[in-house]
Amino acid sequence: MLDYELKVFSGTANPMLAEAICKELDVTLGRALIGRFPDGETSLRLDEDVRGRDIFVIQPTCHPVNENLMELLILIDCLRRASASRITAVVPYYGYARMDRKDRSRVPITAKLVANLIAQAGADRVLAMDLHASQIQGFFDVPMDHLYAAPVLIDYYLGKNIPDLTLVAPDLGSVKLARAYGEAMSTDLAIVDKRRIDAQTIQTGYLIGNVQGRNVLMVEDLIATGTSVIEAARLLKSHGARDVYVAATHPVLCGNAIQRLNESELTEITVTDTIPADTSAMSDKFRVVSIAPLLAEAIDHIHHNKSVSKLFATPVRQR
């Protein structure tokens, strides 16, 4: 055991998740006074001593992305200047991850930029979950632990005992993730051929595999507009699928995504609490499972300098 105390702080992005993690760890959430100046800038003051402590900052960079990212950076800077011994940025949802390479001319690599900002602010290590692309791990110049929500989601669906189940990758980028789920759940695999026409338009044309008379489970790292899974569900239904389930780690749910998913042919949509979801707008189709126990276990292992490799149960998508 380390000779310095573990403390957990949270920004305003997802305080309920932070409280749940603290409950699992049997610690009290650290006191930080976070507000806004009249011009909208973030104001922050720690309301307790952190000198020499091992600090974990819980802050997903979800909507509003820029404010939550800036709040994370300010928290890290404040803790560093208050002489914290070690600072770990726990980022359950890592925003700006879609632009992770130069796939055309004159575009930024925002995933690397954000990694640089977190390190330069003073984070000694980073803990994230289900990155949009696993190569983002290599963008960090500080130690980085990458967890997957798959064990939590797999346990949930194994508990449902769905008969005649086939795992489906809703696009080619999700094949490795779907295969890992399928191996863990001992099911067959099918693949939807999806093409993105532009930022708003998805074209689904072909199905690789057989879903006739089968219940299917699609797996994704996130649901943003919902277009991909909605169109994939239509295609699967047209090929004779029975019930169509979808499991996704991050409920980004932009614009009218919740309404569209409520009205879709999907039987059930299961997400985690990496991002706070508007459950009041969700129909009975939605289920939210907590990743707080998994993150709490990872935090405990990091604090006590124990291996976290056993928590890396399932690989994520490779592109």
Specify the pLDDT at position 173.
78
Give the pLDDT score at 288.
Answer: 97
Report the catalytic residues. 194
Instruction: Say what the pLDDT of residue 313 is.
Output: 53
The pLDDT, as a whole number, for residue 1 is 42
Average pLDDT, the chain: 91
Spatial neighbors of 290 by CB under 8 A, at least 6 apart, are 17, 20, 152, 272, 273
316 confidence band (pLDDT: 50, 70, 90) = very low
Share of the chain above pLDDT 90, in %: 79
Q: How far is CA 98 from the centre of its chain?
A: 13
Q: Band of the pLDDT at 315, cuts 50, 70, 90?
A: very low
pLDDT at 318 over 50: no
pLDDT tens figures, 16-47? 999 999 999 999 999 999 999 999 999 999 99
pLDDT at 195: 63
- Read off the pLDDT band of 273 (50, 70, 90): very high
Higher-confidence position of 170 and 4: 170
Structural domains of the chain ordered from first start: 6-148+292-311 (3.40.50.2020), 150-289 (3.40.50.2020)
pTM: 0.91
Higher pLDDT, 112 or 1: 112
Which residue, among 130, 140, 133, 69, has the nearest Cα to 101 in the 3D structure? 133
Averaged pLDDT, 144-159: 94
How many angstroms separate the Cα of 139 from the Cα of each of 12, 72, 145, 288?
Answer: 26, 18, 12, 30
Is the pLDDT confidence value at 220 over 80?
yes
| Mean of pLDDT values over 138-149 | 94
Summarize the confidence of residues 212-217 as an average pLDDT: 96
- pLDDT above 90: residue 241: yes
pLDDT tens-digit readout, 179-211: 889 899 999 999 998 665 555 555 566 899 999
Q: Residue range 104-129: average pLDDT? A: 96
Mean pLDDT of the 81-102 span: 95
Whether 123 shows a pLDDT value over 50: the answer reads yes
Quote the tokens at residue 216: 């299917």
Q: Which stretch of 54-58, 232-236, 282-286, 314-318 has the lowest confidence by average pLDDT?
A: 314-318
Mean pLDDT of 260-266: 96
Among 176, 267, 257, 140, which Cα is nearest to 216's? 267
Report residue 172's pLDDT band, with 50, 70 and 90 as the boundaries. Answer: confident
Question: Which secondary-structure segment (H or E) carries 35?
Answer: strand 32-36
So what's the pLDDT on residue 202?
56
d(CA 178, CA 191): 9
User: Is the preceding peptide bond at 143 cis, omega within 30 degrees of 0?
Assistant: no
Give the mean model confidence (pLDDT) for residues 132-160: 93
Work out the average pLDDT over 237-242.
95
Report which of 7, 10, 98, 8 is spatially closest to residue 276, judged by C-alpha positions. 10
Q: Please name the residue that has the structure tokens 């993150």.
A: 295
Q: Of how many residues is the chain composed?
A: 319
